[in-house]
Structure 1
């Protein structure tokens, strides 16, 4: 597949929902794109910017939004289907030790990552990037890679923007993964916070005292808090109004994953208290095993949860959590998050423009997406829209609609094989169908890595939800005891036998099992799953 050149100058017409402020909507306008940026915006009837006089705009007939920005996702796990959570838990350590979680999530992912013969890593990164793009997500968290000895780590660079890669100096890198050795040292941890533009950190995930203790661990014996304006606390479900007040005093932020919280704990973050304290709130789908399939789905979950618990968030505020707010948290708001001249052309076009612009996006389904651009380059859309934009790519169907998706990039990670989405789907489906065999190989490889005797070259997937690999997203700061987390070798040796799992579908429209599982989840409040399912 050859890279799509794409026009240097091109334009889109439609309802432009800038997200600069509530109500800042151009009902019929044109966005002019030059290279990777928005060159200008003009309502219908106004002249085009200089140099665009001869450009024939693509008439989308839809609504144009900033590309969706996600600040919480464990992308590597998004090949797995929704897990039916067996009970409500009090903190993250409890569900991580549940038998069905090990056989549905950590076991399969360990087998995929550690028994990889070199074919599964490229398949996985291709598939999970596609899962984001087909739902309008243009930025998410990165996919962590490691050499087989575990001594070198980096993030996969593909078509999707990664928060941890950014594009300095315009888009500073976010930090999220730090070794436990740093987490045990309060001063070192605090110093890293101070030097970061944005630090994405799982914080007090759970609802019990133990979960809350992880927040208290941010305060040292002298009473100083390791909380900085860079800190974006992911989840914060155990925090109370006074805790959010403390975070607000230090200008920290919150990343909310309502569906995942409710699936695991039967309760979600007190985002109303966070908003009252003045905290900026962003949204993240978490991952497919215990969350929405994508960020577009999490917008629906946020709306339903806000209505169910009387949180009072407007549709504009909810859409802000996936556009302008995460851009501000990343310190990217000068370049992304809203639609304005001079900003990068990361755009999402959705079919239709007759109703409320914010509720329209929340109510849109994957099959309603017309076009997705990143840095002015058409990456995904209907076959017609992509061809009109001068783009090419791999064909796929979403529902009954023909689409094209383009992964090619001149600076794509050269160490990872370039494969098609169709081939990625075939490889992953086959691997998930023989997990028992892969598990045997993964146990052997785990022991070799832990003992330092592994001799393989190349890159492997580094799982950020496992411990002992120096890339975990959840540092264990000491608080009334020692850091927690099992040894990787012990986990592998005591693993439950694995059985075949079906590859999670790219979209809800093509996945009847997702809604069936969602409506059977025992921890969701009455009627909540049905309300989410009604959007589809």
Structure 2
């Protein structure tokens, strides 16, 4: 991996270690189980980064949205609450020049070269974020409907893929049409995303960074989304040994580009063995600064330590994990050990329809089951900075900074502050989405008044707010909004104004083991508080652990241990 990617990993690891104290172990949450929103204006005791109040600017007439303060001929200055790489600039500015590159992020960008001829969008208390990045989706399955609550809970992905170990298989089909794929891409864009590793895609709308020719102008090595690194598509489950398929992915083959392998997707010993065969000398050691392990549900502290040492990271898909396995990756342990985490949707069948819903699932789990381990900024970083690094775009996307690509999403900020405005955004709260400084989606008046050609973008009503989507323009007439909407809504709508119909659950449960948070089991993991090594953090017994997980044997469960591989709480 090149030095820039190694440096990016080091900065992420330093930031992770600087802001964590381990999850709380003795506080129960009284929040509801709904994953439609959390705190409105505070990040509690969590570190929000640097918060700088810039000189006050007049608020626009429509609070929470943007108005065109000044017309321009080249480039765009966005003024509002800016979420940059260091924290928050309230009343700050982002200047995207005529080439689509960010030229300035500061309290005042008027002195930057070219700023005098740029349009100025005054967004008041609206929140300006990097465009969200989705590091994991199977977009060619966009023709499937979601499974809702799910009919079963599995121990390994091959159980639902192949109907193994007494389970019925899930019936999903690939082969989404071009317009269905574009519809799924538009779904992501309408949620604030500008890039993804989708294992497919079409030209226009999203940057598809793991598919050749679909990066929409970015000069990056194509990321490798590897569904079967052990060549085990046939359904092989092994608890010992690495004799899977005849053509496993080799360490040599993953050099020079981002690598995203599915590893340890399950809770049984066979899932755990996958890391032995992909993360150690027992098989092909695929861990490195270019590696972002997808799912990692069956990882243990020594595995996580090996990933940290190698400079790897995790792509977390909580909704899909919870509905399929009743459990998810041990993210509180990962946080304590300094492993960077990105957030991805997985697919519409068992995951989230867009990054908004995935963020809200992660937030709900954190609030209700993980003892509020993660702050708002940490959750937001999972969908921006960390996600960009996971797909090999950490030097160009995911952070608002001079020299980076002008992929930006603006969210209403009149109900929620700072990073929380992104996490809790509803579909109508997405004010503007730009890829390389060019609008893809946004408020009707903003696009028509602020951008040349904005009136060519097609109109749609989103929960009572007039919006425009630039489908025909961006596809150069290959498809229209009507085309892609008709195609995708044959299986699932573009958006919902309330909780999506049949959305896969984000509430952990396994029949006969645990469901909900009854009296005496405040973290809902099926272990009575008095017997629970982490009474305030969800950590059910997994078949792969054989008992309560406590790797260092110090009586503090891995899920709430500040030092999972060292006795006591001092690492």
In structure 2, runs of 5+ residues without a counterpart are 1-71, 233-244, 519-571
* Match for residue 359 of structure 2 among 299, 311, 315: 299
Aligned counterpart for 1:317 among listed residues 378, 388, 411: 378
Classify 1:162/1:427 alpha carbon distance in 2 versus 1 (closer, same or farther; 3 Å): closer
Structure 1 residues 247 and 311: CA distance shift in structure 2, 3 A: farther
1:11 to 2:61 alignment: no
Is 1:182–1:189's contact at 8 Å kept on the other side of the alignment? Answer: no
Displacement of 1:178 in angstroms is: 7.3
Contact kept? 1:399, 1:510, Cα under 8 Å? no
Distance 1:186 1:81, change over 3 A: closer
| Contact 2:139–2:347, Cα closer than 8 Å, also in 1 | yes
Distance 1:222 1:507, change over 3 A: closer
**Alpha-carbon distance change, 40 to 25 in structure 1, aligned in 2, over 3 angstroms:** same
1:159-178 deviation digits (Å, cap 9, x = unpaired): 21112144787433211147
What is aligned with 2:541? none
- Give me the whole-angstrom Cα distance separating, in 2, the residues matched to 1:300 and 1:176: 24
Structure 1: state its 5+ residue gaps. Answer: 1-5, 114-119, 145-154, 433-502, 529-536
Equivalent residue, structure 2, for 1:64:
128
**Cα distance, 1:350 vs structure 2:** 0.4
Deviations 1:173-204 (A, max 9, x none): 211147889774578621112x2321011111
The residue number in structure 2 matching 1:350 is 411
Report the counterpart of residue 232 of structure 1 in structure 2. Answer: 292
> Residue 512 and residue 321 in structure 1: after superposition, are their counterparts in 2 closer, same or farther (change >3 A)?
closer
User: 1:25 aligns to what?
Assistant: 89
Q: Select the residue among 181, 186, 189 that pairs with 1:130.
A: 186
* C-alpha distance after superposition, 1:35-67 (max 9, x if no partner): 2111223425x6342333243412223110000
Alignment of 1:87 onto 2:122: no
Q: Name the counterpart of 2:222.
A: 173
State the alpha-carbon separation in 2 of the partners of residues 337 and 220 from structure 1.
30
Change over 3 Å in CA distance of 1:55–1:258 after alignment to 2? same
1:191-230 matches, within 5 Å, as 191-193=252-254, 195-218=255-278, 225-230=285-290
Structure-1 separation of matches of 2:348 and 2:357: 11
What's the counterpart of residue 205 of structure 2? 159
Q: Does 1:389 align with 2:389?
A: no
TM superposition shift of 1:261 = 0.9
CA RMSD of aligned residues (A): 3.3
In 2, Cα distance between equivalents of 1:180 and 1:330: 17
Name 2:51's counterpart in structure 1.
none
Q: Work out which structure has the larger RCO, using CA pairs closer than 8 Å and 6 or more positions apart in sequence.
A: 1
- Range with greater deviation from structure 2 (380-389 or 128-137): 380-389
1:77 deviates by 2.2
Contact 1:379 1:405 in 2 (8 A): yes
Distance 2:481 2:170 in 1: 24
| Whole-angstrom distance in 2 between the partners of 1:104 and 1:217 | 27
Match of 2:113 in 1: 50
In 2: Cα distance, 1:519 partner to 1:176 partner:
25
Question: How many residues align structurally?
Answer: 423
In structure 1, what is the Cα distance between the partners aligned to 2:73 and 2:348?
Answer: 35
Structure 1 389/167 Cα, relative in aligned 2: closer, same or farther at 3 Å?
closer
Question: 1:34 aligned to 2:98?
Answer: yes
Q: Establish whether residue 141 from structure 1 lines up as the match of residue 141 from structure 2.
A: no
Q: CA deviation at 1:298?
A: 1.0
Structure 1 residue 507 corresponds to structure 2 residue 492: no
> Residues 203 and 216 of structure 2 are in contact (CA less than 8 Å); yes or no, is this contact kept in structure 1?
no
Counterpart of 1:471 in structure 2 is none
Q: Given that residues 277 and 284 in structure 2 are in contact (C-alpha distance below 8 angstroms), is that contact kept between their aligned partners in structure 1? A: no
1:75-114 equivalence runs, <5 A: 75-84=139-148, 85-97=150-162, 105-106=171-172, 109-110=173-174, 113=175
3-state DSSP of counterpart to 1:381 = strand
1:265 aligned partner: 325
Greater fraction helix:
1
Q: Is the 8 A contact 2:74 2:117 kept in 1?
A: no
For 2:279 and 2:101, the matched residues in 1 are separated by 43
Provide the secondary structure at the position in 2 that maps to 1:508: coil
Check 1:332–1:218 CA distance in 2 against 1; reply closer, same or farther (3 A cut): same
Q: Give me the whole-angstrom Cα distance separating, in 1, the residues matched to 2:321 and 2:304.
A: 18
Distance of 1:77 and 1:374 partners within structure 2: 24
Residues 182 and 205, structure 2, Cα contact 8 Å, conserved in 1: no
Q: Which TM-score applies when normalising by structure 1?
A: 0.71
Task: Determine the C-alpha separation between the residues in 2 that align with 1:345 and 1:260.
Answer: 31
